[in-house]
Structure 1
Amino acid sequence: MKPLLTTAALAVVAFTVSICSAQETKHSFLACGSHTYIMGEDGKPSWTYPANTRDGYVLEDGTLILTLTKSGKHKGGAVVSIAPDGSESLIWKGTQSEVNSAQPTKEGNFVITEAGNNPRLLEVTPAGKVLVEFPLACQQGNHHMQTRMARKLDDGTFLAPHLLDFAVYHYGADGKVLGKLDTTAAGDPDHKIHTWPFTAIRHGEGQTLVCCTHSNRVVDFDSEGKIVWTLTNDDLPGDWLQDPCGAQLLPNGNLVITSYAGGRKDRNAPKLFEVTRDKKVVWQFADGQGHGIHHFQIITTNGKKVAGPANK
């Protein structure tokens, strides 16, 4: 991807990268959070953006789609598009408390969630025309903890993780609830363990990988809703799952996970790491900073562009 050396790059981020040079796997990636940037495979940022972001995508032509955290400029959050030449355009201005995700669809539209008194999912065109709109069946008392990474599936239905409802909801195109995956920890009906679903990735034959933030676990449901795979810190070299918000399933079947709280207590803790299905760590990234990565997209691996739309 061509570096986007725009005026946004004036927001310089100082990185102390501690990626092990002996790693055979090297990735470049887009990082979203309090610091927004593209990190090269060489461990150096090629582009930065001066705003806090919730989610982001790099499209095939190099265009970036960023979900902006609410701010003085965008009091309800926003979704913007940044072209390869650096020009920025507004896709959606939030109308409630927050905009938490914006997924590009194969049709060229965007799936957006708004949190607030009337939480809702929308599918809009690049010009902001609403094509789909329906209310989300999540709790309304805590806006920030309503929903996160909603995604449109290949069949035209939608997945939306609802944090304080401890479930990933499956919606039809008309907003009807078709089903849900309960992320409640076994033997914990009172939800003392905060298995809040954050990112839900549909893959394989109806399987769904779910990052359960705050409980520091990632689970994989089969098509019948049974948990068939779990990753916790007991499976890793250390306490690397520290508020695992985002994840991306790579074409080779490996999973990359971000720990949003990684670095707060231990500055050398990985911000991102890649594991195989048998839980072997094959890549990790740490930058010595206290701020975390909220979500991300792996762009290249060992010099080659990651094929297909990002499954994240």
Structure 2
Amino acid sequence: MKLETFYRSFAVIAVTLTLFLQAGPAVAEEVTHSFLACGQKTYMVDGDGNTIWTYPHSTRDGYVLPNGNIVLTLSKGKQYSGGAVVEVATDGSERLIWKGTQSEVNSAHPTASDTFVITEAGSKPRLLEVDRAGNVVVEFPLECQTENFHLQTRMARKLDDGTYLVPHLLDFAVKNYDRNGKVLSSIDTTVKNDPERKIHSWPFTAIRHGEGHTLVCCTNGNRVVDFNAKGENVWQLTNEDFPGTWLQDPCGGQVLPNGNFVITSYKVNRSKIDSPKLIEVNQDKEVVWTYRSDSPVGIHHFQILDTNGLKLTPPVLK
């Protein structure tokens, strides 16, 4: 290399370095999310934290469909003593999909075949898959305790292979059923070295993701556990990973397309306002995003709809 060429190259490098130092380090873009919240209050929040839609009834689960309609699992009340599943259109009109026949309806998962997976709690707990007209296409009894209806099951989901993933709270089990009701496998959510199950590590939401992994939100145990395909605990989130008791009855969860986990703390209330209602963490347990509000009512379950204004691509893993 000629000396003149060397000095010219050195000058270019020096100018580039000077400009970089003057500009300072790059600042990462702040993460924002819009989301649907279900619970005692049902509402939708935009990326700026503003409430942009509300629904006048308590709900247990909910999905925003690709066409903008919202499917909601209603808590039992005066209108529906056993709970129900409804679809609210973008024009505000409402259509009944299923009226509960027992104690509670706890979930309604919309499938790729335009059906809905529903669980009913009661003396005869069961899973149903129904079409939009309410016709039953799959039905089988759930293998769980029948002494406490409310703690029988929660967020049942249909998997890509056509089987069903169902958490059973007081049974400390997440069971994988086939369409005939046969249990193919079961994950034990009992805390290690707690054979008497004094830690109420009840599975509420179970999400199949990645290479056969299952992320489980365990309510009163205040744990979120990722199990591998063998049912082994390979990742765990507890309050020891946060600056305070942020996990307070972590009912619902969602796995985002980037692999991050979003968790809700249902029992966060006004007396613990410094604790967030929604928490996003990455695989290293670093906090990426939180949602706080001064409402005394917690979020039972939710659906993250976009990140920084970009709509999330399906499937919705929640």
Would you say same fold, with TM above 0.5? yes
* Number of residue pairs the alignment of both structures matches: 291
Deviation >3 Å, runs of 4+: none
Residue aligning to 2:49: 43
Q: 8 Å contact 1:110–1:123 — kept in the other structure?
A: yes
Residue aligning to 2:213: 207
Say whether residues 1:77 and 2:83 are aligned partners. Answer: yes
Say whether residues 1:113 and 2:119 are aligned partners. Answer: yes
Say whether residues 1:178 and 2:155 are aligned partners. Answer: no
Q: Distance in 1 between matches of 2:261 and 2:29?
A: 17
Pick one of 249, 269, 275 that aligns with 1:269. 275
Q: Distance in 1 between matches of 2:259 and 2:209?
A: 10
Residue aligning to 1:229: 235
Q: Secondary structure at the match of 1:265?
A: helix
Structure with larger Rg:
2
Residue aligning to 2:316: 310
Q: 8 Å contact 1:263–1:270 — kept in the other structure?
A: no
Query: What amino acid is aligned across from residue 165 of structure 2 in structure 1?
Result: L
Q: 8 Å contact 1:199–1:211 — kept in the other structure?
A: yes
Residue aligning to 1:14: none
Instruction: Tell me the CA shift for residue 179 of structure 1.
Output: 1.2
Residue aligning to 1:15: none
Residue aligning to 1:190: 196
- Structure with a larger share of its residues in helix: 2
Pick one of 32, 35, 44 that aligns with 1:26. 32
Instruction: Tell me the CA shift for residue 289 of structure 1.
Output: 1.7
Q: 8 Å contact 1:258–1:294 — kept in the other structure?
A: yes
Unaligned runs of 5+ in 2: 1-27
Residue aligning to 2:156: 150
Instruction: Tell me the CA shift for residue 23 of structure 1.
Output: 7.5
Instruction: Tell me the CA shift for residue 267 of structure 1.
Output: 2.1
Instruction: Tell me the CA shift for residue 209 of structure 1.
Output: 0.4
The CA RMSD measured in Å over matched residues stands at 1.0
Query: What TM-score comes out, normalization by structure 2 length?
Result: 0.90
Q: Distance in 2 between matches of 1:264 and 1:157?
A: 40
Q: 8 Å contact 2:270–2:294 — kept in the other structure?
A: no
Instruction: Tell me the CA shift for residue 254 of structure 1.
Output: 0.3
Q: 8 Å contact 2:190–2:197 — kept in the other structure?
A: yes
Instruction: Tell me the CA shift for residue 86 of structure 1.
Output: 1.2
Residue deviations 1:136-165 (CA, integer Å, cap 9, x gap): 000000000000000000000001000000
Q: Distance in 1 between matches of 2:56 and 2:78?
A: 13
Q: 1:28 to 1:141 in 2, by over 3 A?
A: same
Identity of aligned residues (%): 64
Residue aligning to 1:65: 71
Tell which has more relative contact order, 1 or 2 (C-alpha 8 A, sep 6+).
Answer: 1
Q: Distance in 2 between matches of 1:166 and 1:279?
A: 24
